[in-house]
Structure 1
Amino acid sequence: MTPGSSSDLTSATTSAAQHHPTSGRERAEEHLATLPDDAVWVWSDGSAEGGVSAGGIGALITLPSGEEHELRAPAGRICSSTRAELVAIRGALEMLLRLEGGLAESPVIVCADSQAALATLASGAGSQATALGAAVWRLLLALTDGGRRVFMQWIPAHCGIPGNERADVLAKEASSLSQDAVPTDVRSMVKAVGRSATKAWRRSWPDSFFKTIMGDRMPMPVLLESRDEAVNVHQLRAGHWSRSQSYLHRIGRRPERDCPQCSDLACPAARCLVCREGPDTPEHVLLRCPCLAGARLRLLGNIRPDPTQLRDGGAVAALSRGYLSHQQPLGYGRP
């Protein structure tokens, strides 16, 4: 394919980025072997610690003569993985243009293992929302000036492809370089502030049954057919279950002759109706009630599982169903 316009290059980028999205090393190398033999090969990679900081870029350029050139450079103290990948592509293309003055006729094959970066470029030159994306497209158009072919090729990461492995090593080495002179873009700064605020908010969560289960994580969506079951899951993990006798007694929905309402968990009115061994708090229902020992063993592998295993919404739903089924013969299946 000889791209003669920005729309042609967009098509080339899209098809390359989506080619063999799930292949391993063998399928990747099989496809790479179909590309032009006389090409300039560009292997680029970006690195960011935790995907958010200490960015580094690496690139390996191999000319048709066999001559190799390496690039390693920092990408910013605050830097996402996708940004690092795009900076790596930009740096590699800039080096290539400097090496040959942009006049060589050999096709160029740019190999990158970031589908996110390639998808960003695939939207086209006019659709770039960042200065970085626009800069990469200017370089791509400069390379294709005169009809030169440029292939943007996705490859799977960490599967032993030599060029990709060398670029990965270079990027990781570059992440330890000084970041003082590397500017940070506004988008990265805004995202960093948001991440920092979210972490601070999660660290400030009060001690609770929910925090014992989730730590500083947010729960995944609970996808169940019944809305009632989803409510049960959320309430049980939150530590306030509207089906528990202790909760209903505390709010006056389960008064008894000797105690119409109280918040004392030692009150007989708060006891578990099934085992009578303690108040039927969510902790008791999910982790301790003998009636669910078998269910916990089947679902979680232990009759006294670690609370973090309750992050599995499906397991919590099954335990709540089991507990309510034990209550039904007692006439307390529904509040």
Structure 2
Amino acid sequence: MSAQRRGPSPERLHITLPPWTDCSGVAIRLDVGAAVSREARDEVRRAVAEEHLATLPDQATWIWSDGSAEGGVASGGSGALITLPSGEERTTRTPAGAVCSSTRAELVAMRAALEEVQQLEDATSATPLVLCTDSQAALATLATGAGEQRTTLGAEIWRLLLAAPDRPTWLQWVPAHCGLPGNERADELAKKASSLPQAAAPVDVRSLTKAVDRAASKAWRDRWPDSFFRRIMRDRFPTPVLNETREDAVNVHQLRAGHWGLSTSYLHRIGRHPTPTCQQCEDLKCPAALCLVCREEADTPEHVLLHCPCLAGMRLRLFGNIHPDATRLRDGGAVAALARGCLRHREPAGYGRP
């Protein structure tokens, strides 16, 4: 039997840099000095970034690197623009892997650019180096230090940064998509690199593990039955119910799951709310299953949260609409408020919590 063809083995870090490695020659900056929000206009973000970049050495080797990954998880592409002190430009384009995160693609771009610079200059070069990237996550990974890297990629980047011990080096974050020429060109290179053959690009264990987790999670969500819960969540996981009591949290999860332990229809179905005419049944049209607040239909979770006319005012305040889409019920606080409102309406008529 012929052996099956396999792709490149996942990368594993076997040898780390010693914790006493001197990293003082490398400055890593995760901001551009002044606070600038993502919502600010492009020209504002660009002006702030350019003002800060002007404080860095002009006569230096400048690298603009960027990474791209389809959906942030696949078909990684890495690109970099290198400008030498002479004004000469070089570019790199590198596939980052069929399974790849955006952060990994960014780190692959840095490594490829630093390798290119190493080939152009000797190990004794003291020419300053400035590397600009729009990935704070990638820089934060490197900022933990040379001896704290947990991946082969991170360790290799630090080895390249320290290859010329007398070289002053800056790793600088810049805002993305605001018109910085170097960043825009690196972005184009990364997108083009994502279409390169990925077969030879190694996959790191972290990306591979996350890919398996995503695939298993999607397969599980695809098997969810057609239900009220699926109408609310679609293909998302419910988030923890924060800032509510345990009783409220239980009500939220039960209501969204479609089985509320405090509904009259549920209690009648299990024999906890009998009437002289019907001791127990599963008929939602049975008078014993009707909503105790409006008496129009059975108080199923869908009725309580979306249809009960007595809670229309509360839905209007919470959602801006008395007939909100079911997906608005992802808000645990709103569901808890509707549950409390329903129970308060029941209390004056003598129907408190069973």
TM-score, with length taken from structure 2: 0.88
CA distance in 2, matches of 1:60, 1:311: 44
Q: Distance in 2 between matches of 1:25 and 1:247?
A: 59
Q: Is the CA contact (8 Å cut-off) linking 2:65 and 2:131 kept in structure 1?
A: yes
DSSP 3-state at the match of 2:68: strand
2:173 to 141, 154, 174: 154
Q: Does the alignment pair 1:328 with 2:347?
A: yes
Matched, 1:8 2:24: yes
Q: In structure 2, what residue type is equivalent to 1:128?
A: Q
Query: Out of 94, 103, 113, which is 1:82 matched to?
Result: 103
Aligned pairs for 1:205-220 within 5 A: 205-220=224-239
Match of 1:306 among 325, 328, 353: 325
Aligned-pair distance for 1:103?
4.1
Contact 1:115 1:154 in 2 (8 A): yes
- Residue 237 (structure 1) aligned to one of 234, 243, 256: 256
Residue 90 of structure 2 is matched in structure 1 by 69
1:251 maps to a residue whose letter is I
SS at match of 1:309: helix
Question: Secondary structure of 1:64's match?
Answer: coil
Unaligned stretches of 5+ residues in structure 2: 1-19, 37-44
Q: Does the CA contact (< 8 Å) of 1:82 and 1:116 recur in 2?
A: yes
Which residue is 1:52 aligned to? 73
**Which residue is 1:186 aligned to?**
205
Q: Determine which of 138, 143, 146 is the counterpart of 1:125.
A: 146
CA contact (8 A) 1:47 1:84 kept: yes
More helix by share: 1
Distance 1:321 1:168 in 2: 51
Are 1:279 and 2:279 matched, yes or no? no
Tell me the CA shift for residue 66 of structure 1.
1.3
Q: Is the 8 A contact 2:78 2:94 kept in 1?
A: yes
CA contact (8 A) 1:224 1:230 kept: no
Task: Give the CA deviation at 1:265.
Answer: 1.3
Other-structure match for 2:182: 163
Q: Which amino acid aligns with 1:41?
A: W
Are 1:318 and 2:334 an aligned pair?
A: no
Q: Is the 8 A contact 2:63 2:80 kept in 1?
A: yes
Kept in 2: contact 1:60–1:69 (CA 8 A): yes
Of 50, 56, 63, 1:42 maps to 63
- Structure 1 window deviating more from structure 2 (261-270 vs 282-291): it is 261-270
Which 10-residue stretch deviates more, 156-165 or 316-325?
Answer: 316-325
Q: How many Å separate the matches in 2 of 1:208 and 1:21?
A: 49
Equivalents in 1 of 2:352, 2:340: separation in Å?
10
What are the superposed Cα offsets for residues 290-311 of structure 1, whole Å, 9 maximum, x if unpaired? 1112222222122221111111
By how many angstroms is 1:5 displaced? 5.5
> 1:140 is matched with which residue?
161
Deviation at 1:19, TM superposition (A): 5.0
Aligned to 2:39: none
C-alpha contact 2:244 2:333 (8 A) present in aligned 1: no
- Residue 263 (structure 2) pairs with residue 247 (structure 1): no
C-alpha root-mean-square deviation of aligned residues, in Å? Answer: 1.7
Post-superposition Cα deviations, 1:59-96, rounded to whole Å, max 9, x if no partner, equal: 00111121111111211111111110110110010011
The answer (yes or no) to whether the contact 1:40–1:109 under 8 Å persists in 2 is yes
The answer to whether the aligner puts 1:200 opposite 2:213 as a matched pair is no
Letter matched to residue 17 of structure 1: L
Contact 2:66 2:133 in 1 (8 A): yes
Alignment of 1:95 with 2:108, yes or no, is: no
How far, CA to CA, are the matches of 2:170 and 2:189 in structure 1? 22
Change in CA separation of 1:5 and 1:224 when aligned onto 2, cut-off 3 Å: closer
Q: Is the CA contact (8 Å cut-off) linking 2:76 and 2:98 kept in structure 1?
A: yes
Separation in structure 2 between the aligned mates of residue 21 and residue 329 of structure 1, nearest angstrom: 57
Give the total of aligned pairs: 327
Q: Is the 8 A contact 1:245 1:270 kept in 2?
A: yes
1:2-38, CA deviations, whole angstroms, 9 ceiling, x for partnerless residues?
A: xx9533146x22xx12554852222221111111121
- TM-aligned CA deviation for residue 136 of structure 1: 0.6
Distance 1:103 1:9 in 2: 14
- Whole-Å separation in 2 of the counterparts to 1:208 and 1:6: 59
CA contact (8 A) 1:25 1:156 kept: yes
In the alignment, which residue of structure 2 is the partner of 1:17? Answer: 30
